[in-house]
């Protein structure tokens, strides 16, 4: 993507144009994440998966060497996306080097890619840079992606942003997909209450006031 163009134009996410890529959110690799508080990171990942369900986004899931220490896909993610095929890579560090993975991405028919995974500086960054080179519009969900430390995550996010990717939080992704509170019948409030404790308190206080 032309970086100058990216600075000038606000290309909003669209539920009709976006797909979610979940990269190596595996039970073993989860132990490597040290740039987020564990329970907060877990909640963010599940919130992103629920966002994809809420807006019916095509989702591509991949894992790396599940039979080794990386472990299987996080069970909570699998439970939320039971019908999504998991592309199990046996060696490729960059999932974009897997023909099966690229085929699945192309099959979605979407040009906006929302990417999250473990680790931010390797498995996420390599896919993002490859997708940008292939002509996709890419968003990186930074609070649902984890790395070995804050320093490695920060450098990776800067690298991806310089290449043309847009860093976002899962909340920003969900909000941009919904766009208008009058569309809340889709379940956005329920999503927030489930995954953001402070928002749950906000709603409880509002309901108590209305009672």
Residue of 130, 189, 206, 198 whose CA lies nearest to 164: 130
Q: Is the model's pLDDT at 207 over the cut of 80?
A: no
Catalytic site residues?
123
Q: Are 113 and 131 in contact (CB under 8 A)?
A: yes
Q: Answer whether 0.85 is exceeded by the pTM.
A: yes
DSSP 134: T
Mean pLDDT of 76-99: 95
pLDDT of residue 193: 86
| CATH numbers and ranges of domains, the chain | 3-179 (3.40.50.850), 181-211 (no CATH)
pLDDT band at 1 (very low <50, low <70, confident <90, very high): very low
pLDDT tens digit sequence for 23-68: 999 999 999 999 999 999 999 999 999 999 999 999 999 999 999 9
Q: Which residue has the higher pLDDT, 123 or 9?
A: 123
Buried b (16+ CB within 10 A) or exposed e, 32-49: ebebbeeeebbbbbbbbb
Can you tell me the distance from the alpha carbon of 159 to that of 37, in angstroms, rounded to the nearest whole number? 23
Q: Is the model's pLDDT at 126 over the cut of 60?
A: yes
Q: Are 129 and 120 in contact (CB under 8 A)?
A: no
pLDDT of residue 2: 54
pLDDT tens digit sequence for 7-25: 567 889 999 999 999 999 9
pLDDT band at 101 (very low <50, low <70, confident <90, very high): very high
């Amino acid at each position: 993507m032309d970086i100058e163009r990216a600075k000038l134009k606000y290309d909003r996410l669209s539920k009709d144009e976006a797909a979610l890529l979940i990269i190596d959110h595996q039970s073993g690799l989860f132990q490597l994440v040290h740039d987020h508080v564990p329970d907060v990171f877990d909640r963010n990942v599940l919130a992103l998966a629920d966002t994809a369900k809420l807006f019916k986004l095509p989702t591509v899931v991949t894992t790396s060497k599940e039979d080794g220490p990386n472990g299987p896909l996080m069970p909570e993610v699998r439970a939320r996306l039971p019908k999504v095929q998991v592309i199990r890579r046996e060696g490729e560090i960059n999932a974009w080097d897997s023909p099966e993975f690229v085929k699945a991405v192309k099959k979605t028919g979407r040009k906006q890619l929302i990417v999250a995974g473990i680790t931010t500086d390797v498995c996420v960054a390599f896919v993002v840079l490859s997708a940008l080179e292939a002509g996709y519009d890419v968003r990186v969900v930074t609070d649902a992606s984890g790395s070995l430390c804050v320093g490695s995550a920060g450098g990776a996010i800067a690298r991806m942003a310089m290449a043309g990717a847009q860093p976002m939080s899962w909340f920003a992704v969900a909000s941009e997909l919904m766009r208008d509170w009058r569309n809340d019948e889709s379940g956005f409030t329920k999503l927030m209450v489930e995954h953001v404790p402070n928002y749950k308190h906000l709603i409880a206080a509002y309901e108590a006031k209305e009672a």
